[in-house]
């Protein structure tokens, strides 16, 4: 099994390797890896190919949210406990830098070009990390249902949800909230709900309220829409 905890890959390491990346017409070089990562890369690339085919992405000018969502679900399925990938792993920026710059730089490049922020430079914008957490925080029973509740969102939803973990994500609140938000498409509402949530969590514990997390989330949406 991959020793994820052993990955030490600083911003400087990533920068050095990123600068050595060379973009060819059909590939990006070098992709240097130890054996243990080759099979993971193969799976991640197979998924990328499948997503490209399904989403007909070969014919688009620029990849967008639809790719983020579809590929996010794929990496969420692959990067999981059977290969030793845990909450601790997903909280390790070294791991995300390593995956982005060393393992599948070609996939990151297809989405963001050579934008260093999304490869390694700005932790909260590391693309693979943001789409993994987006799916993790929104997961609803299975792949299909998760896709369905998220399909009408945008890149902005990912940023809003993932960018500010505060003192830590409350996963049950976020999953309930994302399910509820699938009934809406109002970006401003989403932003207001998240703000209200951050403010209220300082004073109340939804898990301890009457009706628990779901009553709490209902109330957030009601109040963010001006009450009644």
Partner 1 sequence: MGTNKSQISLYKKIDNDLLEKIGVQIETYLRYTDDSEDKIIDVEERSIAINEVDEGWSPNDHELSLNMSLKILEPMRLFGRNSITSAENTLGIGCHIYSKESHFQRTVPVGRFKSSNREVNINFDYTFPPSSLKGQVYIDFFVYLAEIKERFNYQADKAGMILTEENFLELELIVDGDGSVFPITEFNDKEGPLWKLEKHWVDASDAIFNSSNVSLSLNASHPLFDQIQKGKTRVSRAMMGDIMIQAMSQIIQQVLIIENNNINDDNLYPNSILAAVKYWVESFEIEDTSSLFSISNSMRAHWDRRLMRGENEND
Binding residues for partner 1, per CB under 8 A?
A: 5, 10-12, 16, 84, 86-94, 97, 121-125, 133, 164-172, 202-210
| Smallest separation (angstroms) from partner 1 to the CB of 118 | 13
Pairing between β-strand 28-29 and β-strand 22-23 as defined by DSSP bridges: antiparallel
CB 99 within 8 A of CB 135: no
Q: Sign of torsion, CA 173 175 179 185?
A: positive
| Smallest separation (angstroms) from partner 1 to the CB of 102 | 16
| Smallest separation (angstroms) from partner 1 to the CB of 201 | 8
Q: Which is nearer to partner 1, 53 or 165 (CB)?
A: 165
Q: Which is nearer to partner 1, 32 or 171 (CB)?
A: 171
| Smallest separation (angstroms) from partner 1 to the CB of 197 | 12
Q: Which is nearer to partner 1, 35 or 208 (CB)?
A: 208
Q: Where do runs of H (alpha helix) occur along the chain? A: 11-19, 35-55, 65-78, 87-90, 93-98, 105-112, 116, 127-138, 143-150, 155-162, 171-181, 187-201, 212-224
Residue 34 neighbours by CB under 8 Å, 6+ apart: none
| Smallest separation (angstroms) from partner 1 to the CB of 169 | 6
**Minimal CA–CA distance to 98: which of 108, 83, 88, 84?**
108
| Smallest separation (angstroms) from partner 1 to the CB of 205 | 4
Q: Which is nearer to partner 1, 47 or 197 (CB)?
A: 197
Q: Which is nearer to partner 1, 90 or 189 (CB)?
A: 90
CB 71 within 8 A of CB 131: yes
CA 131 to chain CA centroid, nearest Å: 2
CB 39 within 8 A of CB 103: no
Q: Which is nearer to partner 1, 50 or 204 (CB)?
A: 204
């Amino acid at each position: 099994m991959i020793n994820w905890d052993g990955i030490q890959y600083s911003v400087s390491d990533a920068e050095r390797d990123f600068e050595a990346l060379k973009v060819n017409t059909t590939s990006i070089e070098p992709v240097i890896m130890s054996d243990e990562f080759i099979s993971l890369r193969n799976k991640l690339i197979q998924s990328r190919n499948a997503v490209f085919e399904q989403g007909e992405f070969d014919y688009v000018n620029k990849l967008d949210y639809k790719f983020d969502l579809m590929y996010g679900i794929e990496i969420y399925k692959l990067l999981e406990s059977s290969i030793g990938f845990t909450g601790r792993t997903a909280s390790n920026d070294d791991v995300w830098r390593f995956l982005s710059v060393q393992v599948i730089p070609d996939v990151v490049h297809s989405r963001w070009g050579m934008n260093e922020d999304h490869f390694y430079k700005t932790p909260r914008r590391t693309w693979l990390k943001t789409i993994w957490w987006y799916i993790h925080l929104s997961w609803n029973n299975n792949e299909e249902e998760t896709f369905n509740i998220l399909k009408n969102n945008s890149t902005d939803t990912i940023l809003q949800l993932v960018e500010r973990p505060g003192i830590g994500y409350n996963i049950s609140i976020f999953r309930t909230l994302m399910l509820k938000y699938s009934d809406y498409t109002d970006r401003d509402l989403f932003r207001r709900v998240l703000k209200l949530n951050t403010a209220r969590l300082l004073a109340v514990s939804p898990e301890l309220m009457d009706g628990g997390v779901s009553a709490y989330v209902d109330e957030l949406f009601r109040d963010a829409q001006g009450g009644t």
